[in-house]
Structure 1
Amino acid sequence: MTEKDVRDRESPLSFARQVADAMYKKDVAAQNMGIKLTKVRPGYAVMTMLVTEQMLNGHAICHGGYIFALADTAFAFACNTANITTVTLTNNITFLTPAGEGDLLTAVAEVQNQAGRTGLCDVVITNQEGTRIAMVRGNSYRLRSKIVEDMPSADL
């Protein structure tokens, strides 16, 4: 592999990381819930969240709203890697297994299709044992703005 091949291969990863870092700096909600970005590449993001006592509902399990927030955040980061402001049109969540206090939840979001201004993204949430907690399928919509104004936009 030539040096140019290495640069070309790393460029989309670096681009996606720069966009994600800019988004995360402004994402006060994610930061306050302890959601962390652990991996990003074009059309793909992995985020984690530790379930705390404050996230438990009346059944002593993680409130679905927190699980959905984790999924929606991973969705956003995956959909915005092209530096084109992208928002959620719809998201449908299916809860499969309860999460409890101390569980480390991981959301893996991957853009499945991007056609013009609309896209489709899937998110799978698992716990530290790899058990599926929830699955989300969502539609996205691209606006006419950038996340980072001094960077170009790319297409997935």
Structure 2
Amino acid sequence: MANVMNAQEIKEWMYHKFEENAFMKLADISILEVTCGACKMAMDVDPKKHGNRYGVVHGGALFTLADTAMGAACYSIGAKVVTLSSSVNFIRNTAEKCRVIATATLIHVGHSTIVCRVDIEGPDGRKMVDVTGTMFVVGHFDEIPQKW
């Protein structure tokens, strides 16, 4: 049986896991805050790096941030997940180099699926993207309790 981590250990473990991830570095994504069942992440967007042909941030880059935040929120309750489905509403975009913030929260936790909600806001605090995703549970981190 694995040793159960406390809240501080869970946060440190998650920060470390996401900091060492090569894709997170490539996408310029960082983890800002972790609580039980929620996660806040940032992406330092640059339309020259993350942009589309119209000079604004590519929707796929913004969805990458949302998808990563959903996975992290699930990790925070010990769930190993993969994305099953998602619905994305792109509300506004930016042509500026800036930091956008994704806040992911769990709205339903079942045995085999977890439903997440993500809001991505620009530096002005205005909503840019609204995402609802269903994650499929493929396993558990035994050392992370579902509630902490």
With normalisation by structure 1, the TM-score equals 0.82
Alignment RMSD (CA, Å): 1.7
Match of 1:110 in 2: 105
Residue-pair matches, total: 141
Contact 1:90 1:139 in 2 (8 A): yes
Secondary structure of residue in 1 paired with 2:97: coil
CA contact (8 A) 1:19 1:83 kept: no
Q: Tell me: CA distance 1:144–1:55, structure 2 relative to 1, closer, same or farther (3 Å).
A: closer
Task: State the alpha-carbon separation in 1 of the partners of residues 59 and 52 from structure 2.
Answer: 9
The aligned residue for residue 134 of structure 2 is 139
State the identity %: 23
The structure with the largest alpha-carbon Rg is 1
- Deviation digits for residues 42-77 of structure 1 (CA, Å, limit 9, x no counterpart): 110001111112111111100111001011111111
User: Is it true that 1:51 corresponds to 2:53 in the alignment?
Assistant: no
Q: How is 1:21-32 mapped onto 2 (pairs within 5 angstroms)?
A: 21-32=15-26
Q: Amino acid of the residue matched to residue 85 of structure 2? A: T
Unaligned runs of at least 5 residues, structure 1: 1-10
- Give me the whole-angstrom Cα distance separating, in 2, the residues matched to 1:132 and 1:49: 14
Report 1:73-88 matches (<5 A): 73-88=68-83
Q: Is the 8 A contact 1:110 1:121 kept in 2?
A: yes
Alpha-carbon deviation of 1:15? 4.3
CA contact (8 A) 1:45 1:110 kept: yes
What runs of 5+ residues in structure 2 fail to find an aligned partner?
Answer: 1-5
Q: Which runs of 4+ in 1 moved over 2 A?
A: none
Higher relative contact order (CA 8 A, sep 6+): 2
State the TM-score, normalized to the length of structure 2.
0.86
Counterpart mapping for 1:11-50 below 5 A: 11=6, 13-50=7-44
Match of 1:154 among 123, 145, 148: 145
For residues 64 and 132 of structure 2, the distance between their equivalents in structure 1, rounded to whole angstroms, comes to 14
The structure in which a higher percent of residues are strand is 2
